[in-house]
């Protein structure tokens, strides 16, 4: 359990670092795209060489495939629900002004939701969302990506409990750290553009880090002692959610904002994560 806590804190600390950096620095648009592309490459490699192979080894192909599609479907459903809830809170589409460049800086699963909430907050209209609502929307959207990733990390520690942190778990930890950092950075940038204080932005991303650390511990503790089939299904479920977040949000944003360097950044992230996974 202590190992899961320490690993969770390490992976989630990227949210704090990214939140601090984004609170005081607004990088060019292409820089955030390259960061996100690099993170996408690391996650692809971790999925291909750590998460799903481990799930198949534990549960077999059919249960792992079922978990993969269940995880992907769950992500899509929750993401669509979050879109509709935040859009409703931001008001009718006709009441939302044209987004500014700060809103365009958002990336990852939180992009659409936070953009609408920030625009509504800028209007200062009666009944509009408060600063805390903006922070909650961003926090909810980022944890939508982060919870399955960090839960998968906790599950991977169960599968290798007898030998400690393996190269595969290290690769997954690196991938999570690499994806958390740019999401927190661009989220903090958008908060600052919506006239939120650095303390507010850093506080929100620190809270997100705490939540995702808990996800690692819960993934490890709640599933310890279950049979291998259930463990493999859970691992594949988390992998499916991560894969859906890559295809639906992270990679489209990365390639839109960071081309042509995003392709090379994706390849570099994949290579580094592969080397870590293989222990080369």
The domain ranges of the chain are 2-278
Neighbour tally for 43: CB within 10 Å: 30
pLDDT truncated to tens, each residue of the chain (280 aa)?
777 888 889 889 999 999 999 899 888 888 988 988 998 998 899 888 888 988 899 899 999 999 999 989 988 888 777 667 655 655 544 444 444 444 444 444 444 444 444 444 443 333 344 444 444 554 555 666 677 677 777 777 765 555 456 666 777 788 888 888 887 887 788 778 778 899 988 998 998 899 889 888 887 777 677 788 888 888 888 888 888 888 887 888 888 888 889 999 999 999 998 888 777 6
pTM equals: 0.72
**Is there a contact between 211 and 2 (Cβ–Cβ < 8 Å)?**
no
Alpha helices in the chain (DSSP H): 2-24, 29-46, 52-59, 61-90, 101-104, 111-123, 131-159, 167-193, 198-223, 228-245, 251-258, 261-278
Helix (H, G, I), strand (E, B) or coil at 100: coil
**Is there a contact between 148 and 42 (Cβ–Cβ < 8 Å)?**
no
């Amino acid at each position: 359990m202590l190992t899961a806590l320490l690993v969770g804190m390490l992976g989630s600390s990227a949210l704090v670092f990214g939140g601090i950096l984004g609170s005081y620095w607004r990088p060019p648009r292409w820089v955030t795209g390259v960061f996100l592309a690099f993170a996408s490459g690391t996650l692809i490699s971790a999925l291909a060489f750590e998460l799903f192979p481990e799930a198949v080894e534990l549960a077999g192909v059919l249960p792992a495939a079922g978990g993969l599609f269940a995880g992907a479907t769950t992500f899509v459903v929750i993401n669509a629900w979050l879109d509709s809830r935040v859009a409703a809170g931001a008001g009718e589409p006709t009441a939302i002004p044209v987004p500014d460049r700060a809103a365009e800086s958002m990336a990852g699963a939180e992009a659409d939701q936070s953009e609408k909430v920030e625009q509504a907050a800028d209007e200062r209209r009666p009944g509009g969302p408060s600063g805390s609502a903006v922070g909650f929307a961003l926090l909810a959207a980022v944890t939508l990506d982060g919870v399955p990733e960090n839960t998968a990390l906790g599950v991977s520690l169960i599968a290798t409990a007898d030998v400690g942190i393996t190269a595969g778990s290290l690769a997954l930890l690196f991938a999570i750290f690499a994806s958390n950092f740019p999401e927190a950075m661009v989220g903090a940038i958008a908060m600052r553009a919506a006239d939120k204080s650095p303390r507010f932005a850093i506080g929100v991303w620190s809270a997100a880090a705490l939540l995702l650390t808990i996800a690692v511990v819960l993934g490890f503790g709640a599933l310890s002692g279950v049979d291998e089939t259930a463990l493999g299904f859970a691992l594949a479920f988390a992998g499916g959610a991560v894969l859906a977040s890559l295809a639906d949000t992270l990679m489209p944003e990365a390639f839109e904002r960071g081309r042509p360097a995003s392709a090379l950044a994706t390849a570099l992230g994949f290579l580094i994560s592969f080397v870590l996974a293989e222990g080369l």
